[in-house]
Chains A and B, each alone.
Chain A
Amino acid sequence: MTDSYNVLRSTRASRIGSIIGLVLFIVLVSFPTWGDRATMRLLVEMFYILALSQMWNLMAGYGGLVSVGQQAFVGLGGYMLFLLTIHLGVGAVWTVPLAGLIGAVVSLPVAFLVFRLRGHYFAIGTWVVAEVFLLGFAQIKTLGGGSGLSLPVSVVKSIASSRAGRDSAIYWTALFVVVAVIAIVYFLLRSRHGLALTAIRDSEEASNSLGVDNFRAKLLVYIFAAFGTTAIGALIFLTKLRISPSAAFDINWTTTVIFIVVIGGIGTIEGPILGTIIFFLLREPLADFGSWYLILLGTTAVVVMLKAPQGIWGIITHKFDLRFFPVQRRLELKKDD
């Protein structure tokens, strides 16, 4: 007996999208050779914010783990950059993957604590942990205590001797990180683990009854997000060259990411991309308005959550059936049967 259906794993949009993506990638890779410095810096910022958003989205949108304490790992990554370069002589760019590994290790005891808090309370528990990190790092005198420290000139020079060289090196690192994060999330979600996560997102009870180990799946997502977020943290402070506890463990890292994901569309890969673009498009003209920008973003996020919880990308896919990153399996009946 033959199956009377095909399992579709790509869409026309995804095939066109992969061509557009490839072109975009080539444009972005070559950017340092022809683009200007200010735009390059803006792109770097967009890359790391997008990467952070993808990590948070994987956790909240698929794993159902709403953390408001991811700044714990951003800050940890930042401090690992300083610790590894200054005290252990690790090359600055290599601290990015190393910091990720450290973040994954640190996330184990943290998960042991916060996973004791179910559902809603998990969110606030992660925030407490982030505060503990902030207050704890402020006590470490060799890392500058409460006032922080700067990356020594020798370390900065070791990235590349010229300023343009450094800018390019950091730019390519950031581009590599964001592309890697999106690729890993995409292939993870297309794998059987992704299927398990999607099942958990849709119904915890049902996925459990079909043999998915919910706890294990969530723990893995949490550890993976910690890995990514800590690595991104090291990258962020590589662009800033200066760190302090209040900047490293700033709740705004998480706030920004939550607004981006919610407005763009939670539980999709395209959503955070769209959200990041919107965030930066609005930020440029509204930068002078300070708090009003956050008030506008907060209000928009609340309205989106109430009126269109799937976000802007959700509205688009609903209207046009457009999927650039098809992670779902769709069944198509065979006509000749």
Chain B
Amino acid sequence: MIEWANTIIQGILTGGLYAMFAAGLAIIFGVMRLVNITHGDLIVLAAFIAMVVIETTGVNPFVSLLAVIPIMFVFGYFLQRGILNFTLGDDLLPPLLVTFGLSIVIQNLLLEIFSADSQRLKAGSFEVMSIQLTEGLSIGVFPLVIFIVALVMIIGLQQLFNRTRLGRAFRATSDDATTAQLMGINHKHIFGLAMGLALILVAIAGVLMAVRTNFDPTVGPSRLLFAFEAVIMGGLGSLWGTLIGGIILGVAQNIGAKIDPGWQILFGHIAFLIVLVFRPNGLFPRTRDD
């Protein structure tokens, strides 16, 4: 019994990381109506940038974020303005195929530069500290920190979107880019900022992921799938939904892993497909995807 409680608690905490992956994807879709197939590879890219920063300066992974966040923000802004803005329109094909192509390019560039070796960022004793809840049930400090960061991230995004000038511009552009333009908003710039913002989340998620698990240039696509499943399960347009979706995914994967290690990822996918059958608009839909 206590073992299962443990499995579920670990799953919930893992869900925090998935919610972070998902929040970036949700913002990109919410503002630009763009499904970014490169998302997972950008998470891995952030992890490798952090690795380079750590190797050259010797700082702690969390301190490396001071460099990784601005790098990813600038990268995101120019990725959007230089390439992705030109794919937007009524046709579905260009954004999908361009981000798919970029995904392959980034993956293979990382492979050429860093080889296929598995990597991990070391954060010292902090990684293995845990809090004893009761007899036989303890939770890791680091997974708990990740979960809290995810909570803070979602609350922060909610505030940004609802309370600030920039958030209003995001929402206006998302609703109707042409009208927003008439009101003096440069939608190309706004899209660039939205992608930059999404890549800030990607930077944080990427570094936390890299401390928690091993990574290599090929793990991007599976992170994209986790993010995507969390977004759809939670319900499109809902930031809190991404957290719920992430948690369901994390719990399902941990239950699967407990039964048989080979079933970990499969159980996550199956949970997603079950939600898709019974609640095709997700559990907490706010906008309809059309």
Nearest-Cβ distance from residue A271 to partner chain B, whole angstroms: 13
In the complex, what residues of A have CB within 8 A of residue B29's CB?
120
Closest to A65 in B: B92
Quick check: A292 and B228 within 8 Å, CB to CB? Answer: no
Contacts A302-B83, A306-B94, A309-B94 given: A119-B289 contact, CB under 8 Å? yes
Q: Does any Cβ of A come within 8 Å of B185's Cβ?
A: no
Inter-chain contacts of A138 with B (CB < 8 A) = 262
Point out the residue from B112, B225, B290 that lies within 8 Å of A127, measured CB to CB: B225
Which stretch in A86-94, A129-137, A165-173 binds the other chain? A129-137
User: Taking A66-B97, A116-B276 as contacts, is the C-beta distance between A121 and B232 under 8 angstroms?
Assistant: yes
User: Does A135 lie within 8 Å of B87, measured CB to CB?
Assistant: no
B100 neighbours in A (Cβ, 8 Å): 68, 255, 258
- Which residues of chain B have C-beta atoms less than 8 A from A139's C-beta? 262-263, 266
A117 touches B276 (CB 8 A): yes
Interface membership of chain B positions 63-101, coded 1 if the CB is closer than 8 angstroms to chain A and 0 otherwise: 000000000000000000001001100011111111011
Instruction: Check A305 against B276 for contact (C-beta < 8 Å).
Output: no
* Residues of B close to A64: CB separation below 8 A: 92-93
Query: When each residue 298-316 of chain A gets 1 if its CB lies under 8 Å from chain B and 0 otherwise, what string results?
Result: 1101100110010000000
- Residues of A239-277 at the interface with B, using a CB-CB cut-off of 8 Å, are 251, 255, 258-259, 262, 266
Q: Are B105 and A299 in contact (CB under 8 A)?
A: yes
Range of interface residues on B (Cβ < 8 Å) = 35 or more
Give residues 76-130 of A contacting B (CB, 8 Å). Answer: 113, 116-121, 123-125, 127-129
Give chain A's interface secondary structure class.
helix
Question: Complex formed: what's the CA distance from A97 to B6 in Å?
Answer: 50
Q: Which of A66, A131, A309 contacts B265 (CB 8 A)?
A: A131
Contact call B269/A128, Cβ cutoff below 8 A: yes
Asked if A22 is at the interface of the complex by the 8 Å CB criterion, the answer is no
CA distance A266 to B92 in the complex (A): 13
The complex places the Cα of A291 from the Cα of B111 at a distance, in Å, of 7
Residues A121 and B289 in contact, CB atoms below 8 Å apart: yes
> Any chain B CB within 8 A of the CB of A7?
no
Q: How far is the CB of B184 from chain A (nearest CB, A)?
A: 28
Are B97 and A301 interface neighbours, CB within 8 A? yes
Is B109 interfacial (CB-CB < 8 Å)?
yes
Question: What 0/1 pattern do residues 54 to 80 of A give for CB contact below 8 A with B?
Answer: 000000100010101000000000000
Shortest distance from the beta carbon of B120 to any chain A beta carbon, whole Å: 22
- Once the chains bind, are A128 and B229 in contact (CB under 8 Å)? yes
In the complex, whether B191 has a CB less than 8 A from a CB of chain A is: no
A146 within 8 A of B: yes
Q: Are B105 and A132 in contact (CB under 8 A)?
A: no
A132 touches B273 (CB 8 A): yes
Q: Which of A129, A138, A292, A309 has the most CB of B within 10 A?
A: A309
Of chain A, the residue at the smallest CB distance from B266 is: A135
Does A294 touch B at the CB level, under 8 Å? Answer: yes
Among A60, A66, A128, A259, the most chain B Cβ lie within 10 Å of the Cβ of: A128
Per-residue CB contact flags for chain B residues 203-246 toward chain A (1 = under 8 Å, else 0) read 00000000000000000011011001100100000000000000
Contact B269 A131 (CB under 8 A): yes
Indicate if B174 sits at the interface (CB-CB under 8 A): no
Pair A121/B273 contact, Cβ less than 8 Å: no
Is the pair B97, A120 in contact by a Cβ cutoff of 8 Å?
no
Q: Inside 8 A of B222's CB, which chain A residues have their CB?
A: 131
CA–CA, A123 and B254, complex, Å: 26
Q: Which residues of A contact B94 (CB under 8 A)?
A: 305-306, 309
Q: Is B149 an interface residue (CB 8 A)?
A: no
- Nearest chain A CB to B226's CB is how many angstroms away? 10
Give the distance in Å from the alpha carbon of A298 to the alpha carbon of B265 in the complex: 28
Give the residues in chain A near B86, CB-CB below 8 Å: 306
> Residue A295 at the B interface, CB < 8 A?
yes
Contact A146:B262 (CB < 8 A) given known A66-B92, A132-B269, A305-B87: yes
Contact status of A118 and B83, CB under 8 A, knowing A124-B225, A295-B112: no
CB <8 Å contact, B35 and A291? no
Q: Are A116 and B280 in contact (CB under 8 A)?
A: yes
How far apart are A140's CB and chain B's nearest CB, in angstroms? 11
Contact with A along B243-282 (1 / 0, CB 8 A): 0000000000000000000110110011011001100100
7 further contact pairs, Cβ within 8 A, besides A120-B92, A258-B97, A291-B108: A116-B280, A120-B34, A127-B225, A128-B225, A135-B263, A294-B108, A295-B105
Q: Which 9 A-B pairs have the closest CB atoms?
A: A120-B35, A291-B108, A298-B105, A298-B104, A135-B266, A302-B101, A116-B280, A301-B101, A298-B101
Q: Which residues of A contact B (CB under 8 A)?
A: 60, 64, 66, 68, 113, 116-121, 123-125, 127-129, 131-132, 135-136, 138-139, 146, 251, 255, 258-259, 262, 266, 290-292, 294-295, 297-299, 301-302, 305-306, 309
